[in-house]
Each structure stands twice: as C-alpha cells, then as structure tokens.
Amino acid sequence: MTLTIDRRQLLAGMAATVAFSSIGLGRANAATSMRFLWWGSKERTDRTLAAIKAYQGKNADVSIAGESFGWDNYWTRLATQTAGGNAPDLIQMDYRYIFEYARRGTLLDFTPYMGKSLAIDDFGAPNIDSGKVDGKLYGVNLGVNSSMAAVNTVAWAEAGVEPMHDGMTWDQFAEACAKVTAAGKRRGFYGSQDASGVEPSFECWLRQRGKALYTNDGKLAFEAKDAADWFAFWGHMRDIKACVPADVQALDQLTIETNMIALRKAAVCFAHSNQFIAIQGLGKEKLDIFAYPNPGPGGKPGQYLKPSMLMSVSATSANKDAAVAFVNYLVEDPDGTKALGVERGVPASSKIRGLLTPDLDAASKQVVDYIGRLTPQVGALPPSPPNGAGENAFLLKKIAEEVAFGKTSAQDAGTKFVEQAAANVTRG
C-alpha cells in the first residue's frame, strides 16, 4: 500500500485514515522494522517521508512505516492502539497529552539515553524540561512554537484597510475585520474566522485577563463569566460581520485544510506558528503572521512559547534503541532536520537553527522572525493540562457552535462549558 492523501480526504474531516507502509522507502527485509504515528497536514507528511527516506538511506537495516491522521482522529487511533497492545514505536506527542500517557506507563523514559544516543544538550534546559513528566524525560522537543494570527495580506490590502500589526487591541481588530468584510471585494468573504471554538485562542484571552485554562493541581483556572465574555465577544464579531457566520465556520474541522483562509472565506485565521508554512502552501496569495490582539494598556501577555510537539517512544517497543536513534536524527542530524525544516516549529537546537536559517524559504523565515519578535513579550509555559483536558478542546468547539447557531446564550454557554469541562478533568 502506498501513501494516498489528497485534499478531498482532508476536507472530509480527516475521517479517512491515511495509512501507508514503508514500501519504496526502505528495504523490505530490513532487520529492524518500526512504526511511526503522527498527525498533520500533507506538507508535514511530505517532509516526514523525506526524513524517513533519508534515514533509511543511511541505515539499510531499518524500515520505518508511517501512519498519519488528522488531529481529532489521531488521538482516538493512538489510544486504541495503545490499549490494544499495538502502540507504534515512534509517537508524535503533544504537550497536552504527554502527562496522561507518561503516567500510564506507556512511554519510554529517555533519561538513560541523554548525552549518549540522544544528544540534545544544546536544546537548553527549558526546551528539554518541556518534555519531562515527574522529573523523567518522555518527550523530545520537535520545535519551538506559539499561537499566531495568519493574515491574507492580498485580500486585506484589496479592502483598503490599514494592515494588521503586532500590538492591535481586540477592539481595533474587530473594527478592522468589519471593514474588510464591508469592503465587499470578494463574494462571501469576511475579515476573520470565528475563533470562539478555538481553545488556544480562548487560552490566550484568559491569560490576558490574568486567568488560565488549568491550575497547577489540574483544576479549571477560569470562571463561567470568563467563558461567557469570550462567547459574547465573538457574538459581537458576528453581529458586525467582522467574522464568518456560523454555517461557514462549521466547515472548519480543526484541520489546516479546512481553516477559513484555506477555504477562502476569511482574511484571518488563528493557528500555531509552525502551521503557517502549511497554510501558506495551500494558496498562492501571500500571508503574513502576527501576534494575537491584546486587551490594551496594562494587559498581561497571553502568548507563551511551547514545544510545538514532541517525539516519544512506546515503552513496549521492541526496538527502543533504534527508535531513540531515529528521534535523535530528526532533531540533531543536518539531513534529518533539513528534511523537516521548521514545519514543526523553530528547532530548539541553536546549532540546527543556525544551520537551517540561511537556506529557509520565505515562509519559514517569517516563522523564525515571528518567534524572535514574540519572545520578549511571552508569559511562562503553563502547567500541562490534566487528564481529561483533551476532551475540553472539542467541548469548547461544540458549545461555541451552539452559541453561534443561536441555540443558547453566551451566558448559559459559559456556565455549561465550565460545568462540563470541570467534570471532564475530574473524571480524568
């Protein structure tokens, strides 16, 4: 079976499993065979396949088979495989889930490999510690990342509106987006996506208000009024036609391919900075990248730097040493890191960052520049979300859509979200 991934599959909500073997990538009779599971766009898949091919070119006795899914299906599939005793050797891991998987004993502790086959000392302590759980290293940082606003500068300029810039307030952002829509230069086109169901956007909003998603002991760190205010703000955005209406936003299945810029429905979308490259790759019009709007003078920093994702190895892998060697290749070897580029974030290794930057394409250089501009303004990395928190990202989207479609008020939705989100983390 060969890789079969196309836009139609992705637009179908990533329901179709994208699975492929290593046929064509390595030797059929390789002595060491491993499986690698990741989520992401076609851009990520192409880069990952290139890295695997390059690695197998140097290691003829290793065969790596890959499986790629959309974000939502990925975690269901990983949980199913892990519970069934069929976990992949190599696991793309998210900061949100690493505590859950590590504490269940499903991930390999990298600590004994440090300074040996895993040579990541030049990451610096913060970037190494971002993969630790209870003092042990279960994830290797694949790239430094933050949330961002991506802007279609061509569509924005057509509207004759002053360009977006770092430091805009939420009120200024709303007014500008409404002007883009009102300009009517494109049919069915709006200033912004509706981000009311986007958890990183909600988290940024909370942090700007001195709140957070979760406390250090795994409880909700916000109140119903905070969520109600968030839903009300986006209700205002819809009222003034600054963002897309509910039926359009519902097309977004939390994949890059279905965001409002990719679907040509809006000039602004919110995503993670490493996703900028893939979003730019889906269209020909030039995009730019900016920090989130802020609450104005005296507001707190909402954004922070985080590992865009991590690499983990299954605790039950029969090829632990080989898997660690491949992880090291992805983050410290010039060929491996060049294949991945900065699609998974800006490399944590200063050596690799210096190696890659001169040869980066324009979009990748925009990401590196953005992280550099943002770094002096960010807050601290928040505590890892507790068990059960993964369900809350989907719960936020569900309840935000109920508000947008007029099925409930912002106030009632705030109460409902807090009650159900608290129950999810209590249940774990």
pLDDT (0 to 100) of residue 377:
85
Exposure letters 372-398 (e unless 16+ CB within 10 A, then b): eebeeebeeebebbbbbbbbbbbbbbe
Identify the domain containing residue 130 by its residue range: 32-142+307-368
12 lies in a domain? Answer: no
Q: Report if pTM > 0.95.
A: no
pLDDT (0 to 100) of residue 315:
98
Residue 5 to residue 130: CA distance in whole angstroms: 32
374 lies in a domain? Answer: no
Is there a single domain that holds both residue 173 and residue 132? no
Is there a single domain that holds both residue 186 and residue 294? yes
* Residue 58 identity: K
Which of 174, 169, 123, 183 has its CA nearest to residue 337? 123
Residue 268 to residue 152: CA distance in whole angstroms: 6
Is there a single domain that holds both residue 45 and residue 158? no
CB 311 within 8 A of CB 48: no
Angle, CA of 123, 367 and 46, to the nearest 5°: 85
Is there a single domain that holds both residue 98 and residue 210? no
pLDDT (0 to 100) of residue 131:
93
Residue range 66-82, pLDDT digits in tens: 999 988 799 999 999 99
375 lies in a domain? Answer: no
Is there a single domain that holds both residue 253 and residue 349? no
Query: Following DSSP, what letter does each residue of 360-397 receive, concatenated?
Result: --HHHHHHHHHHHHHGGG-BPPPPPPPTTHHHHHHHHH
The domain that holds 200 is classified in CATH as 3.40.190.10
pLDDT (0 to 100) of residue 26:
38
pLDDT (0 to 100) of residue 4:
31
7 lies in a domain? Answer: no
324 lies in a domain? Answer: yes
Is there a single domain that holds both residue 273 and residue 420? yes
CA 43, 45, 47, 50 dihedral sign is negative
Is there a single domain that holds both residue 270 and residue 166? yes
pLDDT (0 to 100) of residue 15:
33
2 lies in a domain? Answer: no
How many domains, the chain? 2
Low-confidence ranges of the chain (pLDDT < 70): 1-30, 428
Going by the DSSP 8-state scheme, the letter that residue 31 receives in this structure is S
Is there a single domain that holds both residue 224 and residue 85? no
53 lies in a domain? Answer: yes
CB 390 within 8 A of CB 97: yes
Is there a single domain that holds both residue 266 and residue 404? yes
Is there a single domain that holds both residue 288 and residue 312? no
Is there a single domain that holds both residue 132 and residue 68? yes
Residue 226 to residue 399: CA distance in whole angstroms: 14
Is there a single domain that holds both residue 313 and residue 285? no
CB 222 within 8 A of CB 216: no
